């Protein structure tokens, strides 16, 4: 018997299709979103239009149901989300139990979200059902419950009792406002709720980004929605993806320390360029002339900071200098995570919760993609270019 394995695909074909990181590869179809140099569209609606005129609940409905809701549809959808906000005792107990590990730093909020979503799956009667109707029911539950998980987790971190665990918040509050309420125990200002609402809209969907693609790969094996979302959360956590909003703020804090020690933004950046440090919150695989979402959040965040005074505004001033140098020297623009980091920071949101809040938003896009994949499935299974040993005898 020959020891050589005959190739299933000719080397020429595999090489012709090779692109490291799947850059520039069309890996599937979606009716949910188009990410283009010229604009970002959710089901045909441009992101500036949505940020100005829609709410997160409307956007989530649009993504899941395929059309803009009319007033009765929106009222029903909001009611369904409110009714599903409460999380079960087993998840509450998990959040309590994991508190010491979060304080030690062995468990970080993104990992806690991932495990909590796994637990939600175990107790969801629809978990193993991938039908259109079951997927829609699960999507609503996941969208409704992830803010409750984040809020209650923050209560554990702060050593406070859970906020309204019997209901998962205040039924009169919007999705964004209730998230802040659950995290702080205080009703947020209209402005704070609006800024978070807009950030949720901006983060909701972005076609085949790494975490959504992960969700689709998992769903493509006919695995379940909760499992796919767990994979999505794990992918989003990384600092090259969603974790960049936390990493961007940590970088700005390092620049501030550098300035206080007598340095300048310029000298920090010079050193970063010399050591090839990645500037977090900058660059994008698709957008090469700027991220359409970044200026929207930048304006809102700066306005929050302006009202608070110079101590808050300084972060946006440092950010402006970093952006100017990046553009002049590297021709690289900020992505949405850069203004997001500063905005959440001046709003007093704890840094380790920035990416979980991204989860609270992207949950809508993930669930819509998982449903789309299940409804028109084909296993996602690319090839790889083999770089190992030539065939040899054992």
Ligand X SMILES: CC(C)(COP(=O)(O)OP(=O)(O)OC[C@H]1O[C@@H](n2cnc3c(N)ncnc32)[C@H](O)[C@@H]1OP(=O)(O)O)[C@@H](O)C(=O)NCCC(=O)NCCS
Residues that bind ligand X (CB under 6 A): 21, 240-241, 244, 278-285, 330, 332, 335, 337
Nearest residue (CB) to ligand X, 21 versus 38: 21
DSSP code string of 229-286: HHHHHHHHHSTTTTTHHHHHHHHHHHHHHHHHTT--HHHHHHHHHHTT---TTB--SS
Residue 66 zone, left/alpha/beta (φ > 0; ψ -120 to 50; rest): left
152, 206, 226, 241: the active-site residue: 241
Nearest residue (CB) to ligand X, 226 versus 241: 241
Smallest distance, Å, CB 284 to ligand X? 5
284, 292, 369, 374: the active-site residue: 284
Residue with the CB atom nearest ligand X in the bound state: 283
Tokens read off for 201: 């809209």
Smallest distance, Å, CB 240 to ligand X? 4
Cβ atoms 201, 53 nearer than 8 A: no
Smallest distance, Å, CB 228 to ligand X? 21
The question of whether 284 is a catalytic residue gets the answer: yes
Nearest residue (CB) to ligand X, 141 versus 284: 284
| d(C-alpha 308, C-alpha 346), whole Å | 8
124, 152, 337, 369: the active-site residue: 337
Q: Dmax of the chain from CA atoms?
A: 78
Smallest distance, Å, CB 330 to ligand X? 6
| d(C-alpha 337, C-alpha 297), whole Å | 9
Nearest residue (CB) to ligand X, 285 versus 314: 285
Alpha-carbon dihedral angle through residues 288, 357, 316, 158, given to the nearest 10 degrees = -150
Helices (H) and strands (E) in the chain, counts: 17, 3
Smallest distance, Å, CB 215 to ligand X? 17
The question of whether 170 is a catalytic residue gets the answer: no
Nearest residue (CB) to ligand X, 224 versus 337: 337
- Which residues are tagged catalytic? 241, 284, 337
């Amino acid at each position: 018997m020959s020891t050589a394995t005959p190739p299933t695909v000719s080397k020429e074909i595999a090489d012709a299709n090779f692109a490291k990181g799947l850059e520039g590869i069309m890996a599937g179809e979606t009716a949910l979103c188009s990410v283009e140099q010229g604009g970002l569209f959710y089901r045909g609606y441009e992101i500036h239009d949505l940020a100005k005129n829609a709410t997160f609940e409307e956007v989530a409905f649009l993504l899941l149901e395929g059309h803009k809701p009319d007033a009765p549809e929106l009222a029903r959808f909001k009611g369904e989300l409110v009714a599903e906000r409460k999380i079960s005792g087993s998840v509450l107990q998990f959040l309590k139990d994991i508190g010491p590990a979060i304080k030690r730093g062995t468990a970080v909020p993104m990992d806690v979200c991932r495990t909590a979503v796994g637990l939600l799956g175990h107790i969801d009667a629809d978990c193993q059902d991938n039908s259109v109707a079951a997927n829609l029911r699960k999507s609503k539950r996941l969208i409704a419950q992830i803010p409750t998980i984040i809020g209650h987790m923050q209560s554990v971190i702060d050593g406070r009792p859970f906020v309204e665990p019997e209901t998962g918040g205040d039924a009169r509050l919007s999705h964004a406002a209730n998230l802040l309420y659950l995290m702080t125990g205080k009703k947020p200002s209209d402005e704070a709720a609006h800024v978070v609402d807009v950030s949720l809209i901006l983060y909701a969907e972005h076609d085949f980004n790494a975490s959504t693609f992960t969700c689709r790969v998992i769903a493509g094996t006919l695995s379940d929605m909760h499992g796919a979302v767990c994979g999505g959360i794990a992918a989003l956590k990384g600092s090259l993806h969603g974790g960049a909003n936390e990493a961007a703020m940590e970088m700005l804090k390092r620049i501030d320390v550098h300035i206080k020690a007598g340095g300048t933004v310029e000298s920090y950046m010079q050193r970063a360029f010399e050591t090839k440090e990645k500037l977090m919150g900058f660059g994008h695989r698709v957008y090469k002339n700027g991220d359409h979402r970044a200026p929207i959040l930048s304006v809102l965040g700066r306005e929050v900071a302006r009202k608070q005074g110079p101590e808050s505004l300084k972060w946006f001033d440092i950010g402006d200098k970093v952006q100017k140098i990046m553009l002049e020297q590297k021709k690289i623009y900020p992505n949405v995570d850069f203004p997001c980091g500063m905005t959440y920071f001046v709003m007093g949101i704890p840094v380790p919760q920035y990416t979980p809040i991204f989860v609270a938003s992207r949950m809508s896009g993930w669930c819509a993609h998982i449903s789309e994949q299940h409804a028109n499935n084909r296993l996602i299974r690319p090839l790889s270019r083999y770089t190992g040993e030539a065939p040899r005898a054992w």
